[in-house]
Amino acid sequence: MRQAGRYLPEYREVRQQAGTFLDLCYSPDLATEVTLQPIRRFGFDASILFSDILVIPDALGQKVEFKENIGPVLSPIIRSAADLDRLRPDEAIDRLGPVFQTVRNLSSSLPKDVTLIGFAGAPWTVATYMVGGEGSRDQADTRLWAYAEPAAFEQLIETLVDTTAAYLVAQVDAGAEVLQLFDTWAGSLPEREFERWCIAPVAQIVKQVRAKYPAIPIIGFPRGAGLRYADFAQRTGVNGVSIDVTVPLDFAKNTIQPNCAVQGNLDPLLLVSGGAAMTQEVARILQTFDDGPFIFNLGHGIVPQTPIDHVAALVDQVKGVKG
């Protein structure tokens, strides 16, 4: 999950210098700095590239803006096969050059024992923004188009699969040691659509990346997938699965961990509250997964109101168990 953000005063200072949020993502020096800030403070075992999942539609030629109190706004929206002609996948990787420079900077700047994680948004989630024009609670516009014109929607997904795979390969070229795919809105898909628009595209991306880098570890995060987490773990080819806060620990231990590493899943609001409730849940998570491959993490992103001393206490507790 994203480590940098508004809970860190040093991040807020850099953010003010950058201009727009995308300016920050595309400024290698500034993006490098905010990626390194949490590592300096907390000594995490891994560092995740500071960027955003929506650099892909931006690179494809769809205008992306981040508006105060609204969030991302994309235009013009994609709602037909004709709209797809506006996209420029042949230019996308070149336009993402600043991101790869950030990865190169980090590869040479991070301590040798800190793993560098690159990432991208999974096709379904990225498509929901491209079709809806902004975030939504139920991704209704995208689901309706996928039902009404599945062939056209498939074209968009295929474009995103190929572009995302090339983007991730280029991150590994630049020095990323692990990759993560975020499918934030996977939970809005019914069973058959989950297979078609979540599992199948992620499996294709994994296949394309592994064609060049067979040994690269890949983590998938199909947030909200519920019982379908098990299918995702078995059928996409990922090495690890991030679980959200709703996933029962025993379910993850018994159905996901036998197939791959589990990553998760402390509630970010428990990190905000801190105290005994947090430490007890951290201990329970660690104990549940201690017999298999496991990465301790939150079940979603760190929130702006998180006290810094709570993060430090969490890191001390986890590292104490490891030690």
Q: What is the DSSP letter of 134?
A: B
Q: How many Å apart are CA 304 and CA 307, to the nearest integer?
A: 9
- Active site (annotated) includes residue 52: yes
CATH 3.20.20.210 fits 9-242, yes or no: yes
Candidates 6, 12, 40, 86; catalytic one: 6
Query: What is the average per-residue pLDDT within 206-229?
Result: 98
Both tokens of residue 211? 């064609």
Average pLDDT of span 82-98: 97
Cβ contacts of 46 within 8 Å, gap of 6 or more? 114, 115, 116, 117, 178, 295
Q: What is the pLDDT of residue 171?
A: 99
Quick: pLDDT tens for 33-63: 999 999 999 999 999 999 999 999 999 999 9
pLDDT in tens, 252-307: 999 999 999 999 999 999 999 999 999 999 999 999 999 999 999 999 999 999 99
Q: Which of 11, 26, 52, 183 is catalytic?
A: 52
Per-residue pLDDT band for 244 (boundaries 50, 70, 90) equals very high
Closest CA to 77 of 144, 22, 167: 144
**Which residue has 């599992």 as its token pair?**
199
Q: Residue 184 has what pLDDT?
A: 97
- The pLDDT, as a whole number, for residue 126 is 98
Instruction: Determine whether 88 is an active site residue.
Output: no
Percent above pLDDT 90 for the chain: 97
* 284 classed as catalytic: no
Encoding tokens for residue 313? Answer: 């206490």
**Is residue 131 within 8 Å of 78, Cβ to Cβ?**
yes
User: What mean pLDDT is reported for the chain?
Assistant: 97
State yes or no: is 228 an active-site residue: no
- Look up 40 and say whether it is catalytic: no
Per-residue pLDDT, averaged over 72-93, amounts to 97
Q: Which residues contact 157 (CB under 8 A, 6 or more apart)?
A: 123, 124, 127, 197, 201
Q: Give the domain ranges of the chain.
A: 9-242
Joined together, the tokens standing for residue 225 give 């997938």
Query: Residue 1's pLDDT is what?
Result: 74
Catalytic residue among 7, 129, 167, 229: 129
